[in-house]
Structure 1
Amino acid sequence: MFVTLYVIVALIVIVCLNFVIIKRKKHHEVSQKFEKTDRNNTESQSEKEKHETSYQFRLDDEHANEDRDDRPIHEQTKEGSQDYVFKKGITRNKILVAMVFGMFITILNQTLLNTALPVINTDFNISPSTGQWLMTGFMLVNGILIPVSAYLFHKFSYRSLFLVAMTIFTVGSLVCAIAWNFPVMMTGRVLQAMGAGVLMPLGTNVFMTIFPPQKRGMAMGILGVAMILAPAIGPTLSGYIVEHFNWHVMFYGMFAVGLISFIISYVWFGIYQNITNPRADVPGIIFSTLGFGSLLYGFSEAGNKGWGSPEIVVMFVIGCTFTLAFVIREMTMKAPMLDFSVLKYSGYTLTAVINMIVTMSLFGGMILLPLYLQSLRGFSALDSGLLLLPGAIIMGFMGPIAGKLLDTIGIKPLAIFGLAITTYGTWELTQLTMTTPYSSILMIYIIRSFGMSFIMMPIMTAGMNALPSRLISHGNALINTMRQLAGSIGTAILVTVMTQQTESHLATFQQDLDKTNPFIKDQVQMMAQQMGGKEQALSSIIKFVNQLASVDGVNSAFWVATALSFLAFVLSFFLKGKSHYMSNE
């Protein structure tokens, strides 16, 4: 089942990429005209005015005259890190709104299905393992597309990519909404993932393009509102819909909002960057698809199926083999699809390492806390989602503020401050019991989220600022791929620790509960009298012991998350001053 679906997904992506490449060859002419215009930037002002009309290039096949930016090219490009132009009447703020709105809806989609999955499994009469493919398949397609995003950004204009990706995502939402069986639903999820897999790295790249380094912190903080707030709203929203409506309503809503986003983007998302029309590296695409996809699947399932499972071992072997082949190929090519030379820049490399460690801690925590609340404490999915919501709102609110501070004082003091608070908040979650008040957990999560707001987007922005403009798209693709892997690795490690420690604590408790112990015998007899029978008393004791062992398992996993957060905190002291993260190239 896995192999079949995986091959189908890989083939769909590869075929679609090549289809788009064939259909968009005309962009090569656009790139040549743009370069001709750019070379004339060294002429005198009078010469620029004389030739401005001659060298304006066609921005849109149907709106050639309307889409022209009336400013000279040197004025259009001096504020950004790469050459780009806007359609006439388009401003940064309009692009900002269109970008954030589109990314918010696609990221929201990733967590909407969490609560609704059991209901969908029942409706389609499928097993939980089969239904899980609606989540796993989405993740795999993302893992396939993100590594090749740098190639796409050099091949097609931002506007074309955004509109095509938004269309694919919206169509996928409609397919999910009308799905009458699992294969149709899976098709819709793959389409959604293809759209989201392009939109996620595209958002970062556009912001890094249209904002100069000294203003990117604030801009990326605004983008962080979508990237942080959307995943937290998802479980709450889906929990409410599942409790009061049919699950199809979720996807009809996604389709409606997707249409609105497309309309906004068609009108306001008018940005065209300089494209170089690179050739498609088909072997590289195949290697990255099989390599990163297999690793993502292996890590995502290792916590459930066991690290020694034959299926997981095979996935790791395939993943490591093809990922190594991909890296070797890209490092030996003159024009690589993903340029690993970004790792030569220390400002980028260290921030990337810290980013990955923090992501491992964050993603694992997002899995563990709902597990504790719903499975052990008996809270509903809606209550669990509502507990996570205030923390996400805090992160969204603090995003632009933290970004402005990044622009002002640099990443080092922000990272130290944010990780100190995050480490403390994560440590507090190691003290959970079966009677910890809901309000206390809520406050701890808010504190932890407050700390996270100073590190998540700022550390990524600082790393990207350290790169020259020609490598930003490659750095963006690499860090997003690494974050995907880090999230899967962190989740797998923490779930494994929780499971193993639960079993260990349970074995210890069972040894302590020696039925021949006079004290234990007396307690069982007392409970039997109160509960109307010895079997009921023993059942109650066993349930209590299982819960106690499970809570201890969750606490042990949070100790690992605390250690990861503390490691990132220590590494933050090795970050350098603000100027180190401002590339002059």
Structure 2
Amino acid sequence: MLAPHATPPLSPARVTVVLRILVLSTFVVLLNETIMVNAIPRLMREFEVSAAAAGWLSTSFMLTMAVVIPVTGWFLQRVTTRTAFGLAMSLFLAGTALAAAAPAFPVLLAARVIQAGGTAVMMPLLMTTLMTLVPPQDRGRVMGNVTLVISVAPALGPAVSGVLLQLGTWRLLFLAVLPIGVAMALFGRRKLVDTGEPVAGPIDWLSVPLAAAGFGALVYGLSELGAGKASHAPVPPAATALVGAVLVGLFVWRQLALQRSSTPLLDLRALTFRHFAVALGLMCVSFMGLMGAFILLPIYLQEVCGLSSLQTGLLLIPGGLTMGLLGPQVGKLYDRFGAPRLVVPGAVLTALCLALFALAGEQTSPWLVLALHVALSAGMAFVFTPVFTSGLSVLPPHLYAHGSAILGSLQQVSAAVGTALVISVMSGRAATAAAEGHDATGALATGVRWGFGISAVLGVLAVGLALLVRTPPAPPEAKGEESAPTDEAAHAPS
């Protein structure tokens, strides 16, 4: 287990090196989650595949993340930090090299799955190591830097791909990343230190297929449901999502049963901590609204405003940079003022920007869209950094890996739900507008406005949840606790 009490004291300089390695490595692997978006048309022509098939290059990445992350809570407690880092980077680099040389579409698709496997290990590893090494009073500042990884890397993916595709072949998307990844892997293996002693423990083999099939089917069904008429799924997406939800329910039931007798694959006792549960709910609702908005923005800019994919990518870069630059500053403010004073204004600003996007039309200036996107990114920075920090800080050390895995798993599900919801609404309203006599562009603009309206409603719900956020009690390690929390501590009032 990555237990802080088993970790030899590290100097502040050494801690900085370890976290910098993990942050930069995670940035590189997360960038690839969205880097394929602008390459879809070119890949359709080169490999002679349909849009639905090409879309699997992004869908498969998200699906693999959803399948692997629930297992990382168990995995990270049973291997060393260096072993987990080596596995994550090896998978990512193998997938990247295979993708760069892919002679056929199925090979490229398999390469994306391998890439995603490495990414799914790296994210919880970063969060768990951060919580283990960084003292409570400094976590806001450090988590502010991690915001750049969690939010900015996926946001910059389309922009980076737009620039690289302008320079040459789609293989540059992987060839440009490969040497950077290799350098990070080699440097990490040399400088990284283990932050705890692994603890051997059994694995419940029934939980593994339940988690893989459940989360995979749920995210896939929701993704295909969001594709609407463009979906070519052999089984109705709603049925797939329903089956996935049932399997996830069985997985949860199995974990609750294992908590009473042995070691669960994913320890759900983290959810008994009120502050973690509230932070998790706020993160899920916010992510649903924001992912829906991120899906709609490129559609709106290209299909309604007539911008190219490169122009769209460049227009979205300032927002990503805003979040990255604000992250450390918000982290410092969190250490000083706590979460509530930051989360509520951030959630209000986010909801307001989403509501203004819902008023955008065919004549809206791209510069206004740019300003709104920058403001939206600022609001997100004031929400996500305090939410991640305060939510995980209330957990005892033995639940860090499980809390990170729960956050990561529900992040993927929330992204799929948000995407399915706004795309379904957009498609339905666009079809209605077309039937009423609007031209294609006008009908799509109407659908996009309704989609942003749904995101704005989710933003308002997030404001309500933000009002429930309180300054968390002192974390267990600050009290000298190394054992599981008592019921009183787990349900401590705000």
Q: Cα distance, 1:314 vs. partner? A: 3.0
Distance in 2 (CA, whole Å) between partners of 1:263 and 1:367 is: 35
Task: Give the aligned partner of residue 403 of structure 1.
Answer: 331
Q: Cα distance, 1:401 vs. partner? A: 1.0
Alignment of 1:295-314 (within 5 A): 295-305=218-228, 310-314=235-239
Distance in 2 (CA, whole Å) between partners of 1:441 and 1:309 is: 38
Task: Give the aligned partner of residue 184 of structure 1.
Answer: 107
Distance in 2 (CA, whole Å) between partners of 1:82 and 1:206 is: 13
Distance in 1 (CA, whole Å) between partners of 2:428 and 2:77 is: 47
Q: Name the amino acid aligned to 2:353.
A: G
Q: Cα distance, 1:227 vs. partner? A: 2.0
Relative to 1, partners in 2 of residues 1:87 and 1:422: Cα closer, same or farther, differing over 3 Å? closer
Deviation digits for residues 557-582 of structure 1 (CA, Å, limit 9, x no counterpart): 11111111111112211222353777
**What is the DSSP-based 3-state SS (H/G/I as helix, E as strand, rest coil) of the residue aligned with 2:408?**
helix
Relative to 1, partners in 2 of residues 1:144 and 1:82: Cα closer, same or farther, differing over 3 Å? farther
Contact 1:83 1:274 in 2 (8 A): yes
Distance in 1 (CA, whole Å) between partners of 2:475 and 2:440 is: 50
Deviation digits for residues 60-113 of structure 1 (CA, Å, limit 9, x no counterpart): xxxxxxxxxxxxxxxxx9xxx553247899701111221111001101111111
Q: Cα distance, 1:504 vs. partner? A: 2.0
Relative to 1, partners in 2 of residues 1:385 and 1:82: Cα closer, same or farther, differing over 3 Å? farther
Task: Give the aligned partner of residue 197 of structure 2.
Answer: 274
Q: Name the amino acid aligned to 1:278.
A: G
Q: Cα distance, 1:494 vs. partner? A: 0.5
Distance in 1 (CA, whole Å) between partners of 2:12 and 2:396 is: 29
Contact 1:423 1:565 in 2 (8 A): yes
TM-score (norm 1): 0.78
Give 5+ residue unaligned stretches, structure 2.
482-494
Task: Give the aligned partner of residue 243 of structure 2.
Answer: 318
Contact 1:305 1:312 in 2 (8 A): no
Distance in 2 (CA, whole Å) between partners of 1:455 and 1:84 is: 31
Which of 439, 442, 467 aligns to 1:548? It is: 442
Task: Give the aligned partner of residue 175 of structure 1.
Answer: 98
**What is the DSSP-based 3-state SS (H/G/I as helix, E as strand, rest coil) of the residue aligned with 1:91?**
helix
Contact 1:295 1:485 in 2 (8 A): yes
Q: Name the amino acid aligned to 2:460.
A: F
TM-score (norm 2): 0.92
Distance in 2 (CA, whole Å) between partners of 1:410 and 1:87 is: 26
Distance in 1 (CA, whole Å) between partners of 2:48 and 2:9 is: 50
Distance in 2 (CA, whole Å) between partners of 1:570 and 1:320 is: 26
Task: Give the aligned partner of residue 465 of structure 2.
Answer: 571
Q: Cα distance, 1:393 vs. partner? A: 0.6
Q: Cα distance, 1:447 vs. partner? A: 1.0
Distance in 1 (CA, whole Å) between partners of 2:350 and 2:457 is: 11
Relative to 1, partners in 2 of residues 1:82 and 1:493: Cα closer, same or farther, differing over 3 Å? farther
Task: Give the aligned partner of residue 484 of structure 2.
Answer: none
Q: Name the amino acid aligned to 1:567.
A: L
Q: Cα distance, 1:119 vs. partner? A: 0.8
Q: Name the amino acid aligned to 2:196.
A: Q
Deviation digits for residues 419-463 of structure 1 (CA, Å, limit 9, x no counterpart): 111111111101111111111111111111111110112201111
Distance in 1 (CA, whole Å) between partners of 2:316 and 2:172 is: 23
Alignment of 1:489-528 (within 5 A): 489-508=417-436, 510=437
Q: Name the amino acid aligned to 2:447.
A: G
**What is the DSSP-based 3-state SS (H/G/I as helix, E as strand, rest coil) of the residue aligned with 1:432?**
coil
Task: Give the aligned partner of residue 272 of structure 2.
Answer: 344
Which of 273, 277, 283 aligns to 1:355? It is: 283
Distance in 2 (CA, whole Å) between partners of 1:82 and 1:102 is: 26
**What is the DSSP-based 3-state SS (H/G/I as helix, E as strand, rest coil) of the residue aligned with 1:338?**
coil
**What is the DSSP-based 3-state SS (H/G/I as helix, E as strand, rest coil) of the residue aligned with 1:156?**
coil
Distance in 1 (CA, whole Å) between partners of 2:10 and 2:418 is: 43
Q: Which has the larger radius of gyration?
A: 1
**What is the DSSP-based 3-state SS (H/G/I as helix, E as strand, rest coil) of the residue aligned with 2:195?**
strand
Deviation digits for residues 228-266 of structure 1 (CA, Å, limit 9, x no counterpart): 221222111111221220111121112111101111211
Count, aligned residues: 474
Distance in 1 (CA, whole Å) between partners of 2:139 and 2:152 is: 19
Which of 364, 369, 386 aligns to 2:292? It is: 364
Q: Cα distance, 1:492 vs. partner? A: 0.4
**What is the DSSP-based 3-state SS (H/G/I as helix, E as strand, rest coil) of the residue aligned with 1:112?**
coil
Which of 382, 389, 404 aligns to 1:454? It is: 382
Alignment of 1:94-109 (within 5 A): 94-109=17-32
Give 5+ residue unaligned stretches, structure 1.
1-30, 35-76, 511-541
Query: Percent identity between the aligned chains?
Result: 29
Contact 1:466 1:580 in 2 (8 A): yes
Task: Give the aligned partner of residue 490 of structure 2.
Answer: none
Contact 1:86 1:271 in 2 (8 A): no
Q: Name the amino acid aligned to 2:463.
A: F
**What value does the CA root-mean-square deviation take over the aligned residues?**
2.1
Relative to 1, partners in 2 of residues 1:164 and 1:427: Cα closer, same or farther, differing over 3 Å? same
**What is the DSSP-based 3-state SS (H/G/I as helix, E as strand, rest coil) of the residue aligned with 1:434?**
coil
Contact 1:409 1:578 in 2 (8 A): no
- Residue 469 (structure 1) aligned with residue 397 (structure 2): yes
Distance in 2 (CA, whole Å) between partners of 1:321 and 1:413 is: 38
Which of 174, 193, 209 aligns to 2:132? It is: 209
Contact 2:222 2:238 in 1 (8 A): no
Q: Cα distance, 1:506 vs. partner? A: 2.5
Identify the structure with bigger relative contact order (alpha carbons < 8 Å, sequence gap 6+): 2
Distance in 2 (CA, whole Å) between partners of 1:87 and 1:351 is: 30
**What is the DSSP-based 3-state SS (H/G/I as helix, E as strand, rest coil) of the residue aligned with 1:280?**
coil
